[in-house]
Structure 1
Amino acid sequence: MLICALWPVWAAAASPEEVHFPSLDGTTLKGWLFKPASPAPHATVVALHGCGGLYATTGARKGELNARHQAMADWLVGEGCAVLFPDSLTPRGERELCTQKIGQRRIDQTQRRADALGAGAWVLAQPWAAPQRLALLGWSHGGSAVLAATDATRREVAAQPWRFALGVAFYPGCSAALKSGYRPATRLAMMLGELDDWTPPGPCIELGQAVGAEVNVYPGSYHDFDNPIGSVRLRADVPNGTHPGQGVHAGRNPVAREQAYARLKELLREALR
């Protein structure tokens, strides 16, 4: 059975529509919206990019959604879901954050929370969107944004007249949420790499135990384990991580990707049915 539709959906590579909407902080954001061919209303996923942004920087896809984002769009549309990818970086004059030290970044979880909430409000105002069938998904810096935008202790989150039905965070950084007293406003699941030395799993495991969130740790996996292309490599240009200044490892693990996406499918089906 499909996640978001009861009828067949026919799609090759999904094609996006460029949309614009306001962040809660007043920034006009650009986003890429994918909708299935099935009849509305559509359950929708808001998908949040990591510190590298939405776009491929090299190769044949340069300037387009990178392989991971396009693969997720294809997968979700094939399951009958709409998906919106907000761009939090280029409207604010940034291309990427990964090579910037965390304390020097101009874009942090304050902006990412505002963007996620603005995107959710925009989706729910659209005539094609199914009320109360909205999930939030993010990777890395965007995974941390999932935590930020589902934190019931934050005024902006508590003030919204709606809630995400589900939050799923792939390898987020959890230290800040753990220290701040994070409390989930919705069902939360985290997908973590056992060997991640960029956003290590330990704080997320501790956070999950503290708030009753689902925690999935995938053996033999580094950061970015669900990338559909490439291999594990050392990124010496990243100044953050478990060993600052020594770089971090990131790259795909096809077995873990398959397992994580199987669980993601179950979670979305339960939350968006």
Structure 2
Amino acid sequence: MGARRSCFAATPWRRLLRLGGSVAALLGALVWWQEPAAAHAHAHAGAPGPAVQALQLPGAPGEPDLPAYWFRPSEPEGVHAPPQPVVVALHGCAGLYRRSEMSASALDARYRDYARWLTARGYAVLMPDSFGARGKPRGICSERFDSRAIDAATRRADVLAALRWVAQQPGVDAGHIVLLGWSNGAQAVLATLDGSRGWPVGTPSVERAVAFYPGCNQALQQRDFRLRSPLLLMIGGADDWTPATRCVMLRDAVKARQPDVRFQLQIFPGAYHGFDGSDALHLRRDVPGGARPGKGVTVGGDPAARDAALLQLDAWLAAEEP
């Protein structure tokens, strides 16, 4: 995997991140999350968001077209902007929406806030909806993992279709695509990055990837799981839905096969599933899996872990080579 020069490497912002290190990353993170956690959910209610286009994303062969949302950074008038890097962002098992309506205005606050944060840093953001077109806009969290019709292979096919669509869009840099996912979407990140599987001709590669609290067990069970792109994986040390111990084992197995691959694992002690959100910590009893089957799983935000994760994410995106 050769070094790739960042498309923003020549800009003052990217130079500041390289030279300023964690201090610059801190300043960048505070652009979004400077409010107390209790106020976070409503802090940006009146703030203008990035321009968003609702569209139908052509699906993989044999699969339905997908509802998707395409966010573009604002560009100063009269300034010739360079091609924009892209983040393809993959929702978790609860789906994209905070209510049953399938629209940009109904997107969950987590995804709207991430779109704002990423576009403020110059990224176009594509959020495909893997569930709505398949009749499950409210998600699949309560379904048993081994009986889900929308599995890792399905979501991987959706990701590959999304990558091909991105490569055809004007004004974007298809050589700088970041794949980012949460929970079930993070498992789709792992499935997509699995280097033991073939890569379709004509599909652009992923420059780097980010996985928030995935279930690592499925990838761990594969005998020859390998990474085809650098990966930042962030997870809570107290996560009782997708335990961090499995991701440690996955990291170690991958590093044993690929000593030179960049697999950065960040564990936040005491944080639970969904630590980067703003919901209060609560127990979900409708989830059949987890570390304690039948007893529910703990989900909720952790302000300290959330802020630290944003620092890690900012630095990961800013690095010329992750």
TM-score, structure 1 normalization: 0.91
Distance 1:65 1:15, change over 3 A: farther
Contact map agreement 2:83 2:173 (CA 8 A) in 1: yes
| Residue-by-residue CA offset, 1:95-132 (whole Å, 9 max, x unaligned) | 21001111221101011100111111110111121131
Contact map agreement 2:70 2:126 (CA 8 A) in 1: yes
| Correspondence for 1:142 | 185
Distance 1:271 1:179, change over 3 A: farther
Structure 1, unpaired ranges of 5+? none
Supply the RMSD in Å over aligned alpha carbons: 2.3
| Correspondence for 2:166 | 123
| Residue-by-residue CA offset, 1:236-271 (whole Å, 9 max, x unaligned) | 111111111111000000111111111111111125
Query: Residue 20 in 1 paired to residue 63 in 2?
Result: no
SS at 2:292's partner residue?
Answer: coil
| Correspondence for 2:83 | 41
* Misfit runs of 4+, over 4 Å: 2-5, 158-161
SS at 2:239's partner residue?
Answer: coil
Cα distance in structure 1, aligned partners of 2:289 and 2:7: 37
Cα distance in structure 2, aligned partners of 1:54 and 1:164: 22
| Correspondence for 2:275 | 225
| Correspondence for 2:140 | 97
| Residue-by-residue CA offset, 1:188-219 (whole Å, 9 max, x unaligned) | 11001000010111111111122231100001
SS at 2:204's partner residue?
Answer: coil
Shift of 1:24: 2.4
Distance 1:194 1:52, change over 3 A: same
Contact map agreement 1:49 1:141 (CA 8 A) in 2: yes
Which residues in structure 2 correspond to 1:27-66 (within 5 Å)? 27-38=64-75, 39-57=81-99, 64-66=106-108
Cα distance in structure 2, aligned partners of 1:272 and 1:17: 31
Distance 1:21 1:272, change over 3 A: farther
Distance 1:195 1:161, change over 3 A: same
SS at 1:208's partner residue?
Answer: helix
Identity across matched positions, percent:
39
Contact map agreement 2:57 2:128 (CA 8 A) in 1: no
SS at 1:143's partner residue?
Answer: helix
Residue 313 of structure 2 aligns with an amino acid whose one-letter code is L
Query: Residue 191 in 1 paired to residue 234 in 2?
Result: yes
Shift of 1:21: 2.0
Contact map agreement 1:136 1:166 (CA 8 A) in 2: yes
Which of 208, 216, 220 does residue 174 from structure 1 map onto? Answer: 216
TM-score, structure 2 normalization: 0.77
Contact map agreement 1:50 1:141 (CA 8 A) in 2: yes
| Correspondence for 1:214 | 264
Cα distance in structure 1, aligned partners of 2:203 and 2:288: 39
Contact map agreement 2:174 2:204 (CA 8 A) in 1: no
- Structure with higher Rg: it is 2
| Residue-by-residue CA offset, 1:45-95 (whole Å, 9 max, x unaligned) | 00000000000138xx99611011011001001111110100000111112
